[in-house]
A and B are shown apart, each in its own frame.
Chain A
Amino acid sequence: MTVTLFIPCFVDLCYPQVGISMVRILEKLGHKVVCPEAPACCGQPAFNTGYWHESRAVAVKVLKQLQDAEVVAIASGSCGAMIKVFYPELFAGTEHEALARSLAPRCYEFSDLLVSKLGVTDLGARFPHKVTFHDGCHSLRELHIHDAPRRLLAKVRDLELVEMRETVCCGFGGTFSAKFPAISTAMGEVKISLAEQTQAEYIVSNDSSCLMHIQGLMDRQHKPTKTIHLAEILAPS
């Protein structure tokens, strides 16, 4: 299979290892990986802020980049939700609506791609640490991804997964984190507290934007827990 990568702007700049991990995993499984050279933003910031016209200006580029893709692997659940769930609404009534609708079923958040599309759960990975999993809200509630990451983690050797007592938003929410920073911070503190209660060394997620917020808060508060993207755990070393 030829898998086209969608690497969102912040993953490109700050978390390239997530993308690199995805490439290594897919190539090990024998798939051809392609990635458009041009940058990409799914358009969610403008969309979430209500500027749908401006959102379309960047999103249409993504549509064009991905239009011929056989299968698209998306590095983050929130971008995945934007493309799969919201593009049809964003482009409704425009010339690109049909393309948006045709693209949606070909797109997969990464863990969903591995488990649902490629039928793989065991990547031969090893990660001898205690971890807890943070479900990004877009992954969980827009894409309905919950079991896939856990099935993948279950096959990682020497890894111990402990669930947090509650499932709750980390407080990132995209532009929300800048518009309502106090509330965003409070929500992040609640999430960190739940993670600390599990005594996990790592908070794992399928969404780097959540991890960016959680890690940023933990760094400022000098908390020892680390964050890591699911793909990094699964990648061959």
Chain B
Amino acid sequence: MSTAAVQFKSDAARLAADLRHRALIHTALSKYEVKRDEMKARFQDWQGARTLAAARKQEAVNHLDQYLEQFVRGLEARGTKVHWAGNAQRARDIIVDIVKARNARLIVKSKAMTAEEIHLNEALEHAGFEVVETDLGEFIIQLRGEAPYHIVFPAMHLLRGEIRQTFAEKLHDAPSDNPEELTMVARRVLRQKYMQADVGITGANFAVAETGMVSVTENEGNARLTAALPRTMITLLGIEKVVPRLADLALFLPMLATVGAGQLISGYNTMYGGPRQPGEADGPEEFHVVLLDNNRTALLADAEQREALHCIRCGACLNVCPIYRNVGGHTYNTTYPGPIGGVITPHLRGLQEWKHLSYASSLCGACAEACPVKIALHHHLLRNRRNSAAARPSFWQKLAFKAFAPVANHRSLWKLVTKGGRLGQRLHPLIKATPLDPARAWTRTRDLPPIARQSFKEWWQTRL
């Protein structure tokens, strides 16, 4: 097992047994579930919407070169500077260079999973810049030095008391643990940052090819301010975020909000196409768009699993995944948790090192059912398993499955197994759940079913 796999198994075991954590996640998601189902029901045809959304994304990703070119043309026509980052290091360097060239000191940032992916904040801080997260959830975890717990709700795992504690320690301003008061503290602190910041960095939910615009979805208005006040604006996004037409957002924005947050539409959905244009009252002098590959083209090249790039990062699959709900977001220890993380992380970060995320699933399929763009996530987890076993088979597992074949295929051997099994069961209590027990993965917490005194095939024989 890779180091990441060992860590995952250990963290998963600890958290799966933590009943307080289990209840916390359940509570955190239960309100969302009610609203999500309410909003889905408002659609005249939710399943039809999924089919349309899947088709749009299929078109976009399978003509990615054409749509990216169109996207960039539109942006550049308005004076946007477009940069191309083959990998995370290049993306970090590009952004650090832009910030340096603009003589910046303070950077404000709105939520961007792609920025987490490339560890942007570390690079900027290392280069001597102050970076402030402005999304409330991200702001809180930045103060705590934690990774986001969920791709939409980064502070989902925290209680108000913990947040109050953090504000008291780091901001010396924590009047109470009332959520409204705590939010107002953050508002006061961040307001100053927006006004003073030299650079605003955002992510993007969609890249509209037709009109050359990035689309940013949020509820707080922090991205709006990040994109309004600083002199320089940078948007970082993965190349796969493309949608063909502006009007496609009429479908994607409400679907994203519905399954992402249980809202019909998010508070602010904003399209940015360039820096401040002639005649406009304000806006950044410079607008930079950084397009990130970082192994997305590798996933694109896998014709069988290419559709994983259709993902709109809504988090719906996380919310329904029984594994995610029991082990929580931090256990995955990588940018993208949950089912989508299980599918794409082996492609983005290495198959053998991250295949355990594809194995840590009962393949229940709730994710695929929830996915607004109909990615068959559970089937892709199976294919990752196949690919990893083919590339690097486990000697013992391969042997076990090979040995099973004759037993499963021949009556006489199966009879032996049946009789031997009965005998073994009589002796099993002696070693049950001990280190000697070959079935202890099961028997540590569960009893084994008794082998029947007469198997079905034995009974069938008596009738013939």
A residues whose Cβ falls under 8 Å from a Cβ of B: 7, 9-20, 35, 37-41, 45-52, 54-55, 57-58, 61, 137-138, 140-142, 168-169, 171-174, 176-188, 190, 212-213, 215-217, 219-220
Please choose the segment from B219-227, B228-236, B282-290, B449-457 that sits at the chain A interface, where 4 or more of its residues have CB less than 8 A away: B449-457
Q: How far is the CB of B47 from chain A (nearest CB, A)?
A: 13
A15 & B388 in contact (Cβ 8 Å cutoff):
no
Looking at the complex, which one of A13, A168, A181, A186 makes contact with B418 (CB distance below 8 Å)?
A13
A46 and B403 CA atoms in complex are apart in Å by 11
Q: How far is the CB of A82 from chain B (nearest CB, A)?
A: 11
Interface size on B, residues (CB 8 A): 62
A61 and B409 in contact (CB under 8 A), knowing A45-B401, A141-B366, A176-B363? Answer: yes
B455 & A12 in contact (Cβ 8 Å cutoff):
yes
B456 & A16 in contact (Cβ 8 Å cutoff):
yes
A190 and B26 CA atoms in complex are apart in Å by 11
A57 & B402 in contact (Cβ 8 Å cutoff):
yes
A48 and B457 in contact (CB under 8 A), knowing A187-B322, A212-B449? Answer: no
**Which residues of A have CB within 8 Å of B22?**
186, 190
A19 and B445 CA atoms in complex are apart in Å by 28
Majority-rule SS of A interface residues? helix
A179 and B362 in contact (CB under 8 A), knowing A187-B322, A216-B449? Answer: no
A179 and B457 CA atoms in complex are apart in Å by 30
A173 & B363 in contact (Cβ 8 Å cutoff):
yes
A141 and B398 in contact (CB under 8 A), knowing A7-B457, A46-B404, A213-B446? Answer: no
A215 and B241 CA atoms in complex are apart in Å by 46
The verdict on B253 contacting chain A, using a C-beta distance below 8 Å, is no
**Which residues of A have CB within 8 Å of B369?**
141
A137 & B363 in contact (Cβ 8 Å cutoff):
yes
30 CB < 8 A contacts A-B: A7-B456, A11-B456, A13-B455, A16-B452, A35-B457, A39-B411, A49-B397, A50-B389, A51-B393, A51-B401, A52-B386, A58-B404, A58-B405, A58-B409, A137-B365, A141-B369, A169-B322, A176-B363, A179-B360, A181-B444, A182-B13, A183-B16, A183-B323, A185-B445, A185-B446, A187-B326, A187-B362, A213-B446, A216-B448, A216-B449
The verdict on B239 contacting chain A, using a C-beta distance below 8 Å, is no
User: What 1/0 mask marks residues of chain B from 417 to 451 whose CB sits below 8 Å from any chain A CB?
Assistant: 01001000000000000000000011011111111
**Which residues of B have CB within 8 Å of A190?**
22, 322, 326
For B368, the closest partner residue in chain A by CB is A141
A48 and B385 in contact (CB under 8 A), knowing A171-B362, A178-B442, A187-B322? Answer: yes
Q: How far is the CB of A128 from chain B (nearest CB, A)?
A: 26
A40 and B407 CA atoms in complex are apart in Å by 9
A49 and B362 in contact (CB under 8 A), knowing A181-B442, A216-B446? Answer: no
Looking at the complex, which one of B16, B398, B402, B408 makes contact with A61 (CB distance below 8 Å)?
B408
A219 and B445 CA atoms in complex are apart in Å by 10
A144 and B460 CA atoms in complex are apart in Å by 31
A217 and B445 CA atoms in complex are apart in Å by 7
Majority-rule SS of B interface residues? helix
A179 & B359 in contact (Cβ 8 Å cutoff):
yes
The verdict on B12 contacting chain A, using a C-beta distance below 8 Å, is yes
Which of chain B's residues 89-111 have a Cβ closer than 8 Å to chain A? none
**Which residues of A have CB within 8 Å of B418?**
12-13
A149 and B461 CA atoms in complex are apart in Å by 29
A142 and B379 CA atoms in complex are apart in Å by 10
Q: How far is the CB of A216 from chain B (nearest CB, A)?
A: 4
Looking at the complex, which one of B326, B364, B402, B454 makes contact with A16 (CB distance below 8 Å)?
B454
Q: How far is the CB of A40 from chain B (nearest CB, A)?
A: 7
Looking at the complex, which one of A38, A142, A216, A217 makes contact with B409 (CB distance below 8 Å)?
A38
**Which residues of A have CB within 8 Å of B382?**
47-48, 50
**Which residues of B have CB within 8 Å of A137?**
362-366
A58 and B363 in contact (CB under 8 A), knowing A11-B456, A182-B16? Answer: no
**Which residues of A have CB within 8 Å of B445?**
181-182, 185, 217, 220
**Which residues of A have CB within 8 Å of B444?**
181
**Which residues of A have CB within 8 Å of B13?**
182-183
A213 and B448 CA atoms in complex are apart in Å by 8
For A176, the closest partner residue in chain B by CB is B362
User: What 1/0 mask marks residues of chain B from 1 to 44 whose CB sits below 8 Å from any chain A CB?
Assistant: 00000000100110011000010000000000000000000000
A187 and B390 CA atoms in complex are apart in Å by 30
**Which residues of B have CB within 8 Å of A186?**
16-17, 22, 326
Q: How far is the CB of A106 from chain B (nearest CB, A)?
A: 21
Q: How far is the CB of A164 from chain B (nearest CB, A)?
A: 14
The verdict on B188 contacting chain A, using a C-beta distance below 8 Å, is no
For A177, the closest partner residue in chain B by CB is B442
A168 and B401 in contact (CB under 8 A), knowing A20-B456, A38-B411? Answer: no
For A136, the closest partner residue in chain B by CB is B364
For B33, the closest partner residue in chain A by CB is A166
The verdict on B327 contacting chain A, using a C-beta distance below 8 Å, is yes
For A191, the closest partner residue in chain B by CB is B322
A178 and B397 CA atoms in complex are apart in Å by 13
The verdict on B361 contacting chain A, using a C-beta distance below 8 Å, is yes
**Which residues of A have CB within 8 Å of B12?**
180, 182-183
A138 and B22 CA atoms in complex are apart in Å by 25
A185 and B390 in contact (CB under 8 A), knowing A41-B408, A179-B359, A180-B9? Answer: no
For A219, the closest partner residue in chain B by CB is B447
**Which residues of A have CB within 8 Å of B327?**
183
A51 and B326 in contact (CB under 8 A), knowing A41-B404, A137-B365, A185-B446? Answer: no
**Which residues of B have CB within 8 Å of A173?**
361-364
Q: How far is the CB of A80 from chain B (nearest CB, A)?
A: 14
Looking at the complex, which one of B17, B450, B458, B460 makes contact with A182 (CB distance below 8 Å)?
B17
**Which residues of A have CB within 8 Å of B448?**
216
